[in-house]
A = this chain, B = another copy of it.
């Protein structure tokens, strides 16, 4: 089962988080990042989303990830998802959640790809406790 991923956000959020992802996990295919720069509008964004979805069309499923619950990128995607319930729409994602998704897509090519994915995103947000260095070292510090 192949999965296409579309990342959308305000300003240059989408290309910014994609540059972080690709720095760590390499160049992605079946992956689209759609920005919503200050000088753009909803119609333009909607058109760019449609073009991106067209490029991902060969996939069995498409996941859309937006920066925020509400806001134009989410609203535009939401309208699409309401028309086509086969699309899945996530909001408020962070880099850890995106990396988990990419990693699952590489190694776990079945329908369970999205299982608990939002919860992974939630678990990846936190306040670092300077007294927990031990726990951190156990988790495996890397240099990426």
In the assembled complex, how far is the CB of residue A88 from the closest CB belonging to chain B, in whole angstroms?
Answer: 7
A61 on the interface (CB 8 Å rule)?
no
Q: CB distance A13 to B9 under 8 Å? A: no
A22 on the interface (CB 8 Å rule)?
yes
Report chain B residues within 8 Å CB of A143: 42, 72, 75
Question: Which of B12, B96, B123, B127 meets A19, CB within 8 Å?
Answer: B12
Q: Which A positions have Cβ atoms within 8 angstroms of B?
A: 9-24, 36-38, 42, 67-72, 74-75, 78, 81-82, 85, 88-97, 99, 114, 117-118, 121-128, 130, 133, 136, 139-144
With A11-B19, A11-B22 given, can you name 7 additional A-B contacts, CB distance below 8 Å?
A11-B21, A13-B20, A13-B95, A75-B141, A92-B124, A117-B127, A125-B125
